[in-house]
Structure 1
Amino acid sequence: MKKKAIEKIPYFGLKKTSRKKDVKYIGVTAVEIVGHEKHLFLEVYRNKKESKEIPMVRIVLTKKDFGTYWPEKEEWTRQKIKPDSCYGRVIWGEEHPTWEQEKKENILQSTEDLERIKKFCKANVYNEEHWWEYIYKHEDDIVTTARRNREHKVYMRRQEALADRMAHTKELPEKEILDRADRLYFHNQHYLYYKKHGCWAHIACSKCGGVTDARWKSGISYESQFQRWTEEPREGHYGTCPMCGARGEYKCQGKVKGTHDKYIYLFLGQKYKENGMVMRYVEVGKKWTLGFICGDKGPEMYNASEELSGVEIARAYFEPGKKVQIDYHKHDPYMGKDFWDDCNLYGMANIPISAGLIMSETYEEMKGTIFQYSALQEYAKNVREVNPINYLERYSQTPQIEVLVKMGLTDVVEKLVKCYYGIVADENARRPDQFLGIRKERVKQLIRKKGDTHLLGVMQMEKRQGQNWTDEQVEHLAETDLSGTQVETATRYMTLQKLLNRIEKYAGCKYGTECSSALARIRHTATTYADYLSMRINLGYDLNNTVYQQPQDLEAEHNKMVMETNKEEMDKHLKEVAERYPEIRRVYRGLRNKYLYEDDKYIIRPARSAEEIVMEGRLLHHCVGGNMYLGRHNKGETYILMLRFKAEPDIPYITVEIDAKNPRILQWYGDKDKKPDEKNMQSWLNNWLMKLKTGTLTETIQTAAIA
């Protein structure tokens, strides 16, 4: 659109105003030839005598373009005549009128103007009195067409780039991948399905597919010594197929539902173009099938088979100076075809790329590429599972990862690969101490601990606070998991060593034992002590007083501080929940008989009252004291149980929520929604749940009482 030429065309002017009081704006149209192309002009004037010369707005349309000129500002915009054809107002309007008001307020100078608009725009409008709808639809068609053209161009460029990537991608060695997967990862697993009947066993082999009968127990007849023999089939044991001699795992016919399978995920890296890299993500599965037919006495084994299959799921392309591009293998259910696309699916149906095994050829292919010195091979040896796509993407962003891996700071690299860049102090630094924000002499200690991120956090805290702690103090402080603010607050009134000594004394556990239970106890005690000191300070106590610094009973004093903080509000709340949820107290005895269990270290029991649940949540800083949990317990939908150390039965440790109807643990948490000593406590809870399901909780308690 030639805007300069359009601006030179004089305004058409308003010939006469309207006497109707409702009319506020009058439109005037004309068709002009500008640059050998027809243009429709719409000028909108105020319905005032002094406004007949200069319009409020001039809208210009061509077949494929439009523009809006504002004479007062002398500027062009790309506004459509209405932001929304149904609910928005015309762009020169000042309010949000109804459709009827809008029709009365906006008119055209003559019927010729309407015919001119209809002829030029060629759109269908329900009500001709809404004449601006013709222009809106014409403008909307232009915008929509332009957007579609842009999208089509972008799509075609993407398809050309996709085709180029596919053309430069090497062929996938499918047979080699399948053979290696079967040999190394599935261990050439075969199954021998069996069903015993007397001294005989009916056996089906997944390797050869045959079905036969064989004797596993000696007989007394002469003919029995000439019959086919096999060892006694037992579930989970290995035996030899009497037909093909293959070794396989025995599986009882009654425990097989027809098909069972296993899957693994592999990554194969290949050189791409000159020095790029493509990482290919492949799923390999092995499926074992047992066939049945209807026999005289029910289903009978007919045959058995096994099938090895693989499919490439995704490809990640890495090129110098470019973002990683991941292509996905998709299936079109309407066309019944597989195809490659350059974007993932949306929502819950997206295609995930999880950790997997890296094929050894990958490292050879890396030579001469941008990842020749990425240290991926060294990293993969030191971690349990790895997603090389994520690793290489992070390496492209942060090449310092190579040095960190080779130094043995594996835990630090794991965090970076998962995008936890909060542990980085200076992303542009080359030295590891500057990169991580720690003192230079701490690097060797961090290497000895394989880059433990808890230890790193303490080292960073040390440097921020301008301290110079000993190696032992740093390691012990890492075990407490205290934050920098908590340490800084405590060390205003005591030395760091005194803080560590008191935590060790209150916990009753020594540092450095590498015992998960002791570590959980130390962290719980440290949090409690730091919380206690913070509450003392907030309530105005002088912590220079050693009586306040070193309470004889930490848990009791901590609970006392909790009660003292907002005491009136807490008392009122406890009274309210006691009245609102009385069933919790009433059913306690019955639930205690059902759920109570204790051993030499822990005790678990139901909550005595609604007030106890609220206090549990307050002391452990989690949400169990909320109305949702109280309501469930009160209605008998779920129950809240308290798990504590047997030596300290009144001190909160872990809160458990259990389903009231179907015995299963819904959730369990300790202080601040964390799971202390998670592996050990999960095992203990699983054992307790099994005793609950089998009805042996009471027997265990009675036995312990007798002993």
Structure 2
Amino acid sequence: MKKKAIEKIPFLGLGKISRKKKARYVGVTAVRTVGNEEHLFLEVYRNDKESKDVPVVRVVLAEKDFGSYYPERGEWTREKVKKDSDGNNLIWEGQEEHETWKQQEEKNILQSTEDLERIKKFCKSSAYSWESWWEYLYKHEKDIVITARREKKRREYLRRREALQDRIENTKELPEEKILNRANAVCFHNGHYLYYKIKGSWAQIACSACGGVTDARWKEGESFESMFQRRIEKPREGYYGTCPLCGARGRYKCKGKVKGKHSRTAHLFLGQRYKESGMVFRYVQVEKTWILGLVCGEKETEMYNACEELSGVEIARAYFEPGKKTQIDFQKYDPYTEKDFWDDCNLYGMQNISIDESPIMPETYDEMKGTMFQYSAMKEYDGKVKEMNPIKYLNVYKEIPQLEMLVKMGLIRVAQELVSGNVEIVEDKHARRLDEFLGIRKERVKQLIKKHGDIRLLETMQIEKGMGENWTEEQIEHLTETGLDMERVETAQRYMTLQKLLNRIEKYAGCQYGVVCSSSEARIRHTATIYTDYLYMRINLGYDLSNTVYQQPRDLEAAHASMVAESNKEEADKRIKEVEMRYPGIRESYRKLRMKYFYEDENYIIRPAASAEEIVMEGRILHHCVGGDRYLGKHNRGVTYILMLRFKEKPQIPYITVEISAKDNKILQWYGEKDRKPDAGNMQKWLDSYLMKLKSGSLAETAGSEVA
């Protein structure tokens, strides 16, 4: 639409005002030729003598375009004459309250019937009534918008199709045989199966490697002829053996447990050069199927042969080009045409195609030479981790090229955090120096490299830099073991040095720093949290922590529990009285449950909760939700039970809370302070061992002691 030419056309003017009292706006129309194309002009005037020369708005319609010009502001808009919502307000009326159709028709009129005919003829549409003359214009404008939107989508679709076809044409041929052989070696370890059926002293073996079926003796015979018969080891499900025919090693699988065939799937990445300096990473799914041939015998089905099949399908391609966003195409299946096809978008919902970490074909790194990723250090990274997703890695590398520096300097764990999406560990994304990039002191870089980029150590170094401190290497490593964050360290350092804080934590924990023991580290972290919690509560309650008596309680756990009780005394007292009355069954069933669940060894003790009050205090001290009505109610009804797991030397101090099912003695969940799992690996093993003893009935030997 030629807006400048339209602005130069004189206004039509309002010939005379309307005598209708409710008429506020009068529309005047004309057809004008602009740029060899007819345009419908609609000018809306206020119905008063002072506004007959300049309209409120001039609406101009062409066959495929429209616009509204406001003379007072000298602005053009693409607003339609009516809002698309359920309101009926016209655009020149602004944001007025909702009006009825009748009120709209009385307020907005045309100067003459010729104006209406002109509108009808130009717009070629219909309206509910001729009084609602703006409906003709609205429908014409809406058709233009819809047509333009459809055309835009059509052009976008064609552009995407052309780009997709271009990618397909410029993608190299897939070396299927190499991929299948690689998958068979790396993912399936060239595995074979030996299917067997034992018949007395004999076993029938079907080998998936050679396909042959033979009989062999697994048990020594007494006859002379048995000395010359073919011998094998006794077949056992899941064990490995040797095929008597071809000598291939395979895993024994009982014939009765096989339903014709079984398979396994694996995935591989293959990277190839794309165009001049781009790369395409192809994600291939490989399936290996083992098939046991069966035929009907006289009494039962018999093994006829066995074989193996390898097949693969490419399911995704990720294209990387300089200066462009990463494009991932997916191969889909059309059930109507029964053909596979490539598309530039993923499936939706539960059918979404995921791209997971998988092995990378070694040919990929030769293809990367001379491309935009030749210095990405992906090969070095791949050699340090078990499996990786190269698409994720390279996307991060495009955004953070310092990833190459991290990998080559041995900071693999930092690199892994970035690849997994944790970019918060980066202080300055544009920094060139490693210390500035990570937000640590310059002299800490060597220490971080020695630890291969340990994330917890890095966080401690960032705390040091953020607080403007200069700690020793030993202090940094010890503080890392405590797991304290900056806020807790800052609170403690108001009243003591860092070294004093570390010494007190070590003393209260009864464990030394630097001991490679998960239990010791868990004890130190637990103690550090308890001690800093204790200091924080002391401060909030108005105690003067410059007093060393408050700083160094003789019994930290007891002092912490006292502070918790004092901080929540009124609320806690009310809650304890409430649960004591509502859940009396917990106290009544304690002795009976203790006989069943009590157990102790040289390190830990576990027992059921003695009362509802104890469960509430357990939740308050450890800051988790076990003291809620849901858990109390289930324990009271005998659905599940709450067990207290504690250090044997400090049986009154909460450590871990366990919920166990009353029906099948299955641990439903266990948590320590703040819903964390301290010393998770060691404690899980301990609980597994406890469950075995519980189910075997051997706990009864330790349950005869008096109630704690």
TM-score norm. by structure 2 comes to 0.90
Q: Secondary structure at the match of 1:92?
A: helix
**Which residue does the alignment assign to 2:498?**
496
The code of the aligned residue for 1:84 comes to: D
The aligned residue for residue 524 of structure 2 is: 522
Query: Which residue of 403, 410, 413 maps to 2:405?
Result: 403
> How many residues are aligned here?
702
Kept after mapping to 1: 8 A contact 2:88/2:99: no
Counterpart for residue 6 of structure 2:
6
- Out of 450, 454, 457, the position equivalent to 1:455 is 457
Residues 575 and 225 (structure 1), Cα distance of their counterparts in 2 relative to 1, 3 Å cut: same
CA contact (8 A) 2:609 2:643 kept: yes
Distance in 1 (CA, whole Å) between partners of 2:585 and 2:27 is 75
- CA gap 1:511/1:2 in 2 versus in 1, 3 angstroms: same
Distance 1:89 1:614, change over 3 A: farther
Distance 1:610 1:346, change over 3 A: farther
Superposition deviation, residue 639 in structure 1: 4.7
**Residue 645 of structure 1 corresponds to which residue in structure 2?**
647
Q: Deviations over 1:216-271 (max 9, x none)?
A: 33455677677665432111222233444432111123333444333332222222
Residue 467 of structure 1 and its aligned partner are, at CA, apart by 2.1
User: Deviations 1:23-51 (Å, cap 9, x if unpaired)?
Assistant: 55444443333222222233334455655
Aligned to 2:424: 422
Distance 2:46 2:596 in 1: 84
Q: 2:138 is matched with which residue?
A: 136
Cα distance in 2 for partners of 1:141, 1:219 equals 93
Q: C-alpha displacement at 1:426, in angstroms?
A: 2.4
RMSD between aligned residues: 3.0
**Structure-1 residue corresponding to 2:191:** 189
Q: What does 1:114-513 align with in structure 2 at a 5 Å threshold?
A: 114-123=116-125, 125=127, 130-219=132-221, 230-292=232-294, 301=303, 303-513=305-515
Show the 5 A alignment for 1:68-83.
Answer: 68-83=68-83
Instruction: Give the distance between the partners of 1:579 and 1:348, measured in 2 at CA.
Output: 48
Please give the alpha-carbon distance, in whole angstroms, between the structure 2 residues aligned to 1:3 and 1:455.
65
Q: How much does 1:539 deviate? A: 0.9
Cα shift at 1:319: 2.5
Match of 2:97 in 1: 95
What do residues 196-233 of structure 1 show as CA deviations (whole Å, max 9, x unaligned)?
Answer: 23223343332344445444334556776776654321
- Equivalence for 1:42: 42
Q: 1:56 to 1:262 in 2, by over 3 A?
A: same
Q: Distance in 2 between matches of 1:537 and 1:11?
A: 80
The verdict on how the C-alpha distance between 1:435 and 1:121 changes in structure 2, with shifts beyond 3 A counting, is: same
Paired with 1:149 and 1:420, the residues of 2 have a C-alpha distance of 41
Q: Distance in 1 between matches of 2:593 and 2:15?
A: 88
Q: Verify the 8 A CA contact 1:85 1:136 in the aligned structure 2.
A: no
Comparing 59-68 with 122-131, greater Cα deviation is found at 122-131
Contact 1:270 1:362 in 2 (8 A): yes
Identical columns (%): 67
- Distance change >3 Å, CA 111–CA 411, structure 1 → 2: same
Task: List per-residue Cα deviations over 1:476-510 (Å, max 9, x = no partner).
Answer: 11100111121121122112111111111111111
Distance 1:169 1:312 in 2: 13
Q: Deviations over 1:604-627 (max 9, x none)?
A: 444444444443333223344445
Q: 1:448: how far off?
A: 1.3
**Deviation digits for residues 529-575 of structure 1 (CA, Å, limit 9, x no counterpart):** 11111111111111111111111111111111111114223333444
Instruction: Letter of the 1:702 partner, please give it.
Output: E
What residue identity is the alignment partner of 1:39? H
> What's the offset of the Cα at 1:272?
2.2
* SS of residue matched to 1:260: strand
Partner SS, residue 172 of structure 2 = coil
Shift of 1:648: 2.5
- Relative to structure 1, the CA distance from residue 297 to residue 578 in structure 2 (aligned partners, 3 Å threshold; closer, same or farther) is farther
CA distance in 1, matches of 2:131, 2:294: 76
> Mean Cα displacement is larger for which, 258-267 or 627-636?
627-636
Q: Which amino acid aligns with 1:10?
A: F
The whole-number CA distance in structure 2 between the counterparts of 1:631 and 1:30 is 81
Identify the range of structure 1 (163-172 vs 602-611) with the bigger mean alpha-carbon deviation: 602-611
Cα–Cα, structure 1 residues 482 and 703, in superposed 2: closer, same or farther, change >3 Å? closer
Q: Structure 2 CA distance, aligned partners of 1:598 and 1:111?
A: 100
Q: Give the letter aligned to residue 477 of structure 2.
A: E
Determine the structure 1 residue equivalent to 2:672.
670
Partner SS for 1:357: coil
State the partner residue of 2:698: 699
2: CA distance, partners of 1:402 / 1:614? 52
Taking structure 1 as reference, are residues 700 and 589 closer, same or farther at Cα in structure 2, changes over 3 Å only?
A: closer
Q: Which secondary structure state, in structure 1, belongs to the residue aligned with residue 92 of structure 2?
A: coil
Identify which of 556, 564, 577 aligns with 2:566. Answer: 564
Q: Distance in 2 between matches of 1:581 and 1:49?
A: 85
The question of whether the paired residues in 2 share the 8 Å contact of 1:206 and 1:289 is answered with: yes
Look up the SS of the partner of 1:524 in the other structure.
helix
Paired with 1:253 and 1:129, the residues of 2 have a C-alpha distance of 85
> Where does residue 541 of structure 1 map in the other structure?
543
Q: Which secondary structure does the structure 2 equivalent of 1:60 belong to?
A: strand
Answer yes or no: is the 8 Å Cα contact 1:14–1:53 preserved in 2. Answer: no
- The whole-number CA distance in structure 2 between the counterparts of 1:295 and 1:644 is 63
Distance apart, 1:188 and its partner CA: 1.4
| 8 Å Cα contact 1:258-1:289 kept in structure 2 | yes
- Measured after TM superposition, the shift of residue 299 of structure 1 is 5.6
- Relative distance call for 1:385 and 1:611 in structure 2 (3 A) is farther
1:358 is paired with a residue of what secondary structure?
A: coil
1:67 corresponds to which residue? 67
The answer on whether the counterparts of 1:14 and 1:45 sit within 8 Å (CA) in structure 2 is: no
User: What amino acid is the match of 1:68?
Assistant: S
Deviation string for 1:110-137 (max 9, x for gaps)? 5544444343333455566544333333
Task: Show CA shifts across 1:127-183 (max 9, x none).
Answer: 665443333332222122222222222232233222222222221211011112212
Which is worse superposed, 319-328 or 65-74?
A: 319-328
Q: Which has the higher mean CA deviation after the structures are superposed, 220-229 or 436-445?
A: 220-229
Match status 1:551 vs 2:553: yes
Asked if the contact 2:318–2:327 (Cα under 8 Å) also holds between the matched residues in 1, the reply is yes
8 Å contact from structure 1 (residues 216, 229) kept in 2: yes
For 1:334 and 1:589, locate their aligned partners in 2 and report how far apart those are by CA, in whole Å.
68
Moved more, 454-463 or 258-267: 258-267
Q: List per-residue Cα deviations over 1:56-110 (Å, max 9, x = no partner).
A: 3332221111112223322111112233253463323411234565455444455
Alpha-carbon distance in structure 1 between the residues aligned to 2:21 and 2:582: 67
2:142 corresponds to which letter in structure 1? D
